[in-house]
Amino acid sequence: MAKEARIRRPPRRRLHVDDVLVVKKSRLRTAITGTVVGNFMEWFDFGVYGYLAVTLTTVFTGDLPGGLGLLLTLLGFAVSFLVRPLGGFILGPLGDKIGRQRVLFFTMAMMAIATALIGVLPTSAQIGLWAIIPLYLLKMVQGFSTGGEYAGATTYVSEFSPDRSRGFWSSFLDVGSYVGFAAGASVVALTTLIVESNAGANGMVEFGWRIPFLVAIPLGIVAIWFRLKIPETPAFEAEQDAGLTVVEDNADPMARQGLIGIFRHHWRVVLIGIALVSATNTAGYALTSYMPTYLETEVGVSNLMAAVATVPVLILMSACLPFIGKLSDKIGRRPVYGIAVVSTLVLMIPAFTIMQIGEEWAVFIALAMVAIPVAFYVAISASALPALFPTASRFGAMAVAYNIAVSLFGGTTPLFSQALVELTGNTYMPAFYIMFFAALGGVALLTMKETAKRPLLGSFPTVETREEAVEIVEHQDDNPYIDTSTMPLNIIEPPAEPVGSPEPVGT
């Protein structure tokens, strides 16, 4: 009997120089700048709302008891996060389908308009407690837009950044975040100083609170203009050219997936992302959005004093982020996350203890201590988290993981922290809350894959010069950071050839 001919399968095509994505620094800077402005606007609103929380309690909740009114105001902050998953679930997969740049332009415009409209809302003095409803609605619009903003921005900067320096370049996204928050706090502090000097102590409640929100109009126009200028990412365009983002394939984890496919193929990595985002944002939102309220209500410092102490800390922390990002390019993302987790567990209780002293110097030192782990978390978020997911589904998967974590745990930090303080009378409850999620993040870190120095999953290598591209191609077989099996390299199928000659058939 004749033996069946064995068919030789052609090997996957090797990586060529023209496959490697070369991104010049000038184009990279344009892309990063256009992305950073969106995060600046998002966090500008957080800064304004956070530092006006006590004032807005009077403006929108009228004569309700202080504790209840403040919780309702903080609920306005939390409700924006509760709708973020909806925005992420819609805008994330849309960004994988039509492109990162288009969705980022849409989120920027929606966010700027909603922030500005808050500045013209009626107050409880005009329409009673109903005033809180349009505030909640606009915060929900903001939440929907930001559901696609950070996931899209991190996806965008990570795909534009060279593999060897992704931590450095991506860190500028969160520089924009915290500078934006500091700008919002500064505008509130300056407005308070000018208004109260000219209109008395009630000036901020009567009309001054509107000014910081209306400042979002010119800022929004500038940000939208920048967003119009940014190009599409090379990684997304390369996948479009390869035809991989055009057709969904439910069976292929590397192909573009809808929500069901994301959970089906990437649920383990989504859980890792949720844990790390929760650890990052409980500490981050405690430092920013909740700290003004905590300092005023629990420590007894003035709104102006809280801003004076917080703004320099945020500016100093922001200046450190690129250096931490560069450190992660050298030693890896996992070790930097480990530093963040350990420093959170070590520093939170001492920081809140020093904060209780209530003096300006003590508040400054305490906030600086809280900022240390936050800096190590956020400096690598934009480079580490998107790299966990393949290019074809990166925007959507990142939106799912990030927004679930932020909506349930991060953005609700002010509300839950204040509620725990009110319930227990223990002013250290925010510290325990932050430490709990840091511990969960540490557990997730044990199963996270290292992504530093490597091409993004599902993408070609990204470099700054053609010389680097040539070097990568020449050493692709012995480079431990190159895995061509995850890249969109088409297999060229020549006619199948039998191996050996079939034996003659005997009679």
pLDDT the model gives residue 502: 42
Provide the token pair at 241.
């050219």
Structural domain includes residue 246? no
Structural domain count of the chain: 1
Above 60 in pLDDT, residue 343? yes
Q: What is the pLDDT of residues 439-494, one digit of tens each?
A: 999 999 999 999 999 999 888 899 988 998 999 999 888 888 888 888 877 544 44
Q: What is the extent of the structural domain holding 460?
A: 21-230+251-479
Please determine, for residue 3, whether its predicted confidence score (pLDDT) is greater than 60.
no
Looking at residue 181, what is its pLDDT?
Answer: 84
- Compute the average pLDDT of residues 311-315: 88
Residue 389 and residue 253: Cα distance in Å, rounded?
10
For residue range 29-42, what is the model confidence (pLDDT) as tens digits? 888 888 888 788 87
Of the pLDDT bands very low, low, confident and very high (cuts 50, 70, 90), residue 12 is low
Bridge partners, 6 (sequence order): 499
> Tens of pLDDT along 374-395?
999 999 999 999 999 998 888 8
- DSSP codes joined into one string, 449-474: PP-TTSPPTTS--EESSHHHHHHHHH
Residue 303 pLDDT class (50, 70, 90 cuts): low
pLDDT of 129 > 50? The answer is yes
Q: Range with the lowest mean pLDDT among 12-26, 229-243, 266-280, 477-491?
A: 229-243
Among 267, 240, 238, 272, smallest CA distance to 253 is for 267
pTM of the model: 0.81
Checking if the pLDDT of 505 tops 50, the result is no
For 56-101, the pLDDT digits (tens) are: 888 888 777 657 877 888 787 778 878 888 888 888 888 788 878 7
pLDDT value at 256 more than 80: no
pLDDT at residue 204 greater than cutoff 70: yes
Kindly report, residue by residue over 110-128, the tens digit of the pLDDT.
888 888 899 899 988 888 8
- The answer for 69, left when phi > 0, alpha when psi is -120 to 50, beta otherwise, is alpha
Q: What is the pLDDT of residues 142-153, one digit of tens each?
A: 888 888 888 888
| Structure tokens belonging to residue 441 | 């993040």
Q: Please, is 65 exposed, middle or buried when counting C-beta atoms within 10 Å of its C-beta (0-12, 13-18, 19+)?
A: exposed
Phi and psi at 402, nearest 5°, equal -65, -45
Query: Is 131 a domain residue?
Result: yes
| pLDDT of res. 249 | 52
71/244 Cα distance (integer angstroms)? 48
**Cβ neighbours of residue 354 closer than 8 Å, sequence gap 6 or more:** 362, 365, 366, 369
- Does a structural domain hold residue 201? yes
Inside any domain, residue 328: yes
With respect to residue 308, please indicate whether it lies within any of the assigned structural domains.
Answer: yes
Burial class (CB in 10 A: 0-12, 13-18, 19+), 1: exposed
- With 0-12 / 13-18 / 19 or more C-beta atoms within 10 angstroms meaning exposed / middle / buried, residue 241 is exposed
Q: What is the mean pLDDT of residues 274-302?
A: 87
Q: Does residue 6 carry a pLDDT above 60?
A: no
Whether 507 is covered by a domain: the verdict is no
- Spatial separation of the C-alpha atoms in residues 299 and 307, rounded to whole Å: 14
Residue 166 is assigned to a structural domain of this protein: yes
Residue with more model confidence, 171 or 100: 171
- Name which of 49-58, 227-236, 324-333 the model is least confident about: 227-236
At residue 406's C-alpha, the angle toward residues 403 and 410, to 5°, is 180
172-185 confidence digits (pLDDT tens)? 999 988 888 888 88
Residue 291's domain is classified under what CATH number?
Answer: 1.20.1250.20
Average pLDDT value for the chain: 84
Q: Which residue has the higher pLDDT, 499 or 483?
A: 483
Predicted local confidence at residue 243, as pLDDT: 52
Confidence of residue 109 (pLDDT cuts 50, 70, 90): confident
Structural domain contains residue 497? no
Confidence of residue 368 (pLDDT cuts 50, 70, 90): very high
